[in-house]
Amino acid sequence: MAGCGSNLKDEKFGHLVRKHPCFSGDGHFKFGRIHLPVSPACNIQCKFCKRSFNKFENRPGVTGGIVQPEKVVELVGRALELCPELTVAGIAGPGDTLATPHALDAFAAIHQRYPGLINCLSTNGLLLERYAERLVEVGVKTVTVTVNAVDPEIQEQICSVIVLDGKVIRGRQAAETLIHAQLAGIRKASALDLIIKINTVLIPDINGRHVGEIARQTAAAGASLINLIPLIPQHEMSHLEAPDCFQLGDARESAEEHLPVFRHCQHCRADACGIPGSGVDLASQLYDQPMEETFSHG
C-alpha cells in the first residue's frame, strides 16, 4: 500500500489533502488547524471515553469550555492572526459533532466568511448518512469517522450505549446499529466526494487483531485513510493497558494492507490550535475568554 496521502480519491483532491495537517504527513509539520469545541452532547458512550473541562490534559474529549456557534468566525479570525499557516477549521467535539446542530451552524458561518479554509468534521458516524448532504452544503471537505469495530461482538465490548432519535439502545443491538450506520454514512459521504479518514482506537485486548478488517470494510465503503489511536486507559477501561510500540506497529501493518496509514496523530484536544507538528499549542492565547462548561448525552 502506498504511503500516507497518496491515492486519496485518485489524487482528485490531492491539493486539499496536502494542506491538511491531520491527513498529510508533510502537512502535519507545515500547516495549522484550529479545533473549535462547539459540540456539547454525545449520542454514544464508549467505555474508554472520559470527557473533561481542563487546560492541562492533551487528549480528545478535553476542552477548556464550550464555544457558541456565533463566536466561531471571530475565533477563526484570531487564530489566523496567531497562526497564518492555518488551513483547517475543524470540529472534533468535545461531544459528537452531529448530535446537535451546533457544528453545522458553525461550519456554515465559517464557510461564508472564510471559504478558502478546509472545513473538517470528526464524528462517531451514527448520524453521518443523515447529514452528509448538509455537510457538503456548509462547506465541509474532510470527515473523520471513529470506527473501532465492524464486528458486533467486538463493538459491544467497546460501546455500551447509543441514543438514536430519543431511544436508548444497549448491548448487541447498539453495536449492530452503530456499525451499520457508520458504514452507510461513509458510503454516502464518499459518494458526495467528501474525503474520509478513519480513526480507530487500538485496544489490544479487544480489537487488536481486528484492525485489518476495519480497514478493509471502511476502504470498501469509501474511506481513503486510517489513523490508529493508542488506547488511553481510563473510565471503564482504566484496567487495560495501552498498546506498546510493537502492537501499534503490527496493527498499522495490518491496516496498511487496505488503506494508507496516518502516523502523526498526537491525541489533540477539542480546543487545539496551531501547527500540530510544531509542538506548540496556541489555545491558551486563543481561548482567553471564559467559556461555558456543559456536557450531555442524548
Q: What is the CATH number of the domain that holds 29?
A: 3.20.20.70
Range of the domain at 86: 8-151+182-289
Residues with Cβ within 8 Å of residue 243, at least 6 apart in sequence:
202, 203, 204, 208, 230, 231, 251
Tens digit of pLDDT for each residue in 114-135? 999 999 999 999 999 999 999 9
> Where residue 4 falls among pLDDT bands split at 50, 70, 90?
very low
pLDDT at 287 exceeding the cut of 70: yes
Give the integer Cα–Cα distance in Å for 112 and 76. Answer: 12
Asked, for residue 173, whether it belongs to a domain, the answer is no
H-type alpha helices, the chain:
14-18, 72-82, 102-113, 128-137, 152-158, 171-191, 204-207, 211-221, 245-255, 283-286
pLDDT digit string, tens, across residues 41-82? 999 999 998 776 656 566 566 676 888 999 999 999 999 999
Contact indicator for 255, 214 with CB cutoff of 8 Å: yes
Report pTM. 0.89
Residue pLDDT, tens place only, 9-35 = 555 567 777 877 777 666 767 788 899
User: Is residue 8 predicted with pLDDT exceeding 80?
Assistant: no
157 lies in some domain: no
Domain-embedded: residue 1: no
The answer to whether 242 and 231 are in contact (CB under 8 A) is: yes
Give a yes or no: residue 175 inside a domain.
no
Q: Is 46 exposed, middle or buried (0-12, 13-18, 19+ CB in 10 A)?
A: buried
Please indicate, yes or no, if residue 192 is contained in any of the structural domains.
yes
Tell me if 62 is assigned to some domain.
yes
84: buried, middle or exposed (CB in 10 Å: 19+, 13-18, 0-12)?
Answer: exposed
* Number of separate domains in the chain: 1
Distance CA 46, CA 290 (A): 29
Distance between CA 97 and CA 178 in Å, rounded? Answer: 16
> Is the model's pLDDT at 296 over the cut of 50?
no
pLDDT score recorded for residue 29: 74
Is there a domain that residue 118 lies in?
yes
Scored b (16 or more CB within 10 A) or e, 21-36 reads: bbbbbebbeebbbbbb
Does any domain span residue 221? Answer: yes
